[in-house]
Amino acid sequence: MAKSKIRNIAILTGGGDCPGLNAVIRAVTKTAINKYHLNVFGIEDGYRGLIENRIFPLTFANASGILDVGGTILGSCNKSNPFKFPVKTASGKTVMQDVSDLCIQNLAEKNVDALICVGGDGTMTSAADFAKKGMPVMGVPKTIDNDVYGTDTTFGFDTAVYTATDALDKLHTTASSHHRIMIVEVMGRYAGWIALYSGIAGGADVILMPEFPYDIKKVCDYVIERGKVGKKFSIIVVAEGAKPKGGHMVISKTDNNSPDPIKLGGIANVLSEQIGHLTGLDTRATILGHVQRGGTPTPRDRQLGTMFGYLAVDYLMKGVKNQLVILNDNHPGCVPLAKIRGKIKTVKPNDPMVLAAKAVKTSFGV
């Protein structure tokens, strides 16, 4: 494999923040400087910083002491697609423009030879588009949702599951004390990974996910049957993108200036009202929201972030480009960005975790 002539690299963190981002920044910077003697640049606030030319040198000092810190020292942004960026005209009207050439010009001014993009499906879609324009790119899969196509897991997911599971553990005691139905809404957008994994780890009685539209009557029948056998409380975990059969997801708001204008949220409140009305049982809704994105990364996410960051630099220096670093069957590798562009990974009916949950009598409302 031919070795690369890369001497200067840049890194950005796009999309929503998550624990483990700083582990990637640390690994990229230290690997590039220590192993390959490269110059490293950080780009502030994801693609927005690239558009606005907010690019600065990263050093060993910048990348030290950040392994266990949540968030990202570079900042992030989930509203700045360089290929469809909102720009105000002289008349005050907002129009979408392709400003990707400006981004490439800004990188050229710093003599950047390759770009490392850390993010989820939206970030990787733009990364693939930059690759098509001739900019060597490596992608690093990041999202608490675990929905990046092509990789078994993403860093940030493990910490989010831990946070959600901790909340479920706490809600068990109050649910038991008051004989209530506790409905816990977790993130995940159009994939139910957080709901599935935290639901199993937290002993949820019902798990509702986007992949399996639920029947509200079956959910109600299930919690009523639990009461008949002495189970006076139930825990229901619902992904924000879950929906009833023949129904729609609950949308909290829309933002037309965002690459993903639909903002989900509120399904827990809807379910609480419906279940309370149909069963007569006391119900409460808890929406975990952004607490799932924050906090100290778990050891697993620190390890994944470090490995992915190292691999991104190592692959580039070995002549590999325009790929996403992945973990497949616990083995590191990479897949072309063009093959995963615009795709997400969802939970399948035969997933081992789904089968295990069903075996211990967890209901999916179907």
Catalytic residue annotation: 145
Dist CA 65 CA 359 (whole Å): 44
Residue 329 tokens, joined: 């069957």
Phi, psi of 339 (to 5 degrees): -80, -25
Count of helix runs (H) and strand runs (E) in the chain: 11, 15
Q: How many residues does the chain have?
A: 366
8 A C-beta contact, residue 271 and residue 238:
yes
Pick from 204, 208, 205: nearest CA to 192 = 208
Q: How far apart are CA 261 and CA 3, in angstroms?
A: 41
Structure tokens at 310: 């190292």
Using CA of residue 50, residue 52, residue 53, residue 57, what is the dihedral sign?
Answer: negative
Bridge partner residues of 117 (DSSP): 12, 139
Question: Which is it for strands 181-186 and 283-287: parallel, antiparallel or unpaired?
Answer: parallel
Residue with tokens 């929503």: 16
Q: What residue has token string 């035969």?
A: 350
Element holding 169 (H helix, E strand): helix 157-178
Q: Which residues lie closer than 8 Å to 57 by C-beta, 6 or more apart?
A: 39, 40, 41, 42
